[in-house]
């Protein structure tokens, strides 16, 4: 009987030491050690669609109009970088779905929160997209579109730029929304610059515009819908998060 009691006591002590031990001398418990490999892998669970535009802070999110259902987000690679990535998001209910993305270029010298004429930096912010134009015929856009040979780039420019303005979408920075992209009125004054567009890419940085591949411009022109109040949200990644 004594032997049986001793054995029972020993088993009890062993059990306490291995699971939920109160021994304060133990520096690490079993909870921190990996368990056995699962024999049946779990099914992958898709992440829910975001209710915000990813990697954009509160300040710029507040600038997105309440009725906007299409956002072209341009994520600049750096404050002084001319390269970026453009992502089209479409809102369904309360969630923003990533629709398409493309490589892009912005101002040769990067981005600025205070754009000035000739600084070769693209302005950071949220701007409406309300008018389009180009040398080429309307590809089937719902935006007001002006086809005019006058949009052709000057032929004394480098040949790589000759097709820049085959398609353009005006970025409503320092301009009257809804007017043709080449409208000269600048409500904030000439010093703040203007004439900033989405246009065809030529493989390098721009004066301040955002440039995209031709197929991207065609897709945007056919997809952007005035009834969804499209905007471009653009800047370097750090300022976008600010």
Q: pLDDT, tens digit, for every residue of 11-32? A: 344 333 333 333 333 333 322 3
How many angstroms separate the CA atoms of 139 and 142, rounded? 10
Lowest mean pLDDT among 16-30, 77-91, 132-146, 226-240: 16-30
Mean pLDDT of 211-224: 98
CB 102 within 8 A of CB 74: no
Quick one: average pLDDT of 162-180?
A: 98
| Pairing between β-strand 168-170 and β-strand 197-200 as defined by DSSP bridges | antiparallel
Handedness of CA 168, 120, 79, 176 (dihedral sign): negative
Separation between Cα atoms, residue 201 and residue 131, nearest integer Å: 19
Cα separation, 76 vs 58, whole angstroms: 18
| Cβ atoms of 207 and 120 closer than 8 Å | yes
| CB distance 71 to 96 below 8 Å | yes
pLDDT, mean of residues 45-55 = 76
Alpha-helical segments (H) within 36-138: 58-63
Give the pLDDT confidence score for residue 50 in this predicted structure: 86
Q: What is the pairing mode between strands 132-134 and 145-147?
A: parallel
């Amino acid at each position: 009987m004594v032997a049986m009691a001793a054995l029972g006591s020993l088993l009890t002590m062993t059990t306490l030491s291995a699971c939920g031990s109160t021994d304060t001398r133990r520096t690490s418990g079993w909870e921190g050690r990996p368990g056995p490999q699962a024999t049946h892998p779990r099914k992958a669970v898709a992440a829910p669609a975001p209710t915000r535009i990813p990697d954009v802070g509160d300040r710029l999110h507040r600038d997105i109009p309440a009725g906007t259902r299409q956002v072209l987000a341009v994520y600049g690679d750096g404050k002084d970088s001319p390269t970026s990535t453009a992502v089209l998001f479409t809102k369904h209910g309360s969630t923003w779905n990533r629709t398409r993305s493309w490589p892009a270029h912005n101002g040769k010298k990067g981005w600025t929160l205070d754009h000035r004429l000739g600084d070769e930096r693209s302005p950071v912010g949220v701007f409406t997209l309300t008018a389009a134009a180009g040398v080429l015929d309307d590809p089937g856009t719902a935006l007001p579109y002006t086809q005019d040979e006058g949009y052709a780039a000057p032929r004394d420019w480098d040949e790589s730029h000759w097709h820049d303005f085959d398609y353009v979408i005006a970025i409503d920075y320092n301009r009257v929304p809804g007017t043709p992209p080449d409208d000269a009125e600048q409500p904030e004054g000439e010093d703040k610059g203007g004439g900033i567009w989405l246009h065809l890419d030529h493989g390098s940085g721009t004066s301040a515009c955002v440039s995209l591949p031709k197929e991207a411009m065609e897709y945007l022109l056919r997809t952007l819908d005035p009834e969804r109040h499209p905007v471009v949200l653009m800047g370097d990644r750090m300022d976008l998060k600010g």
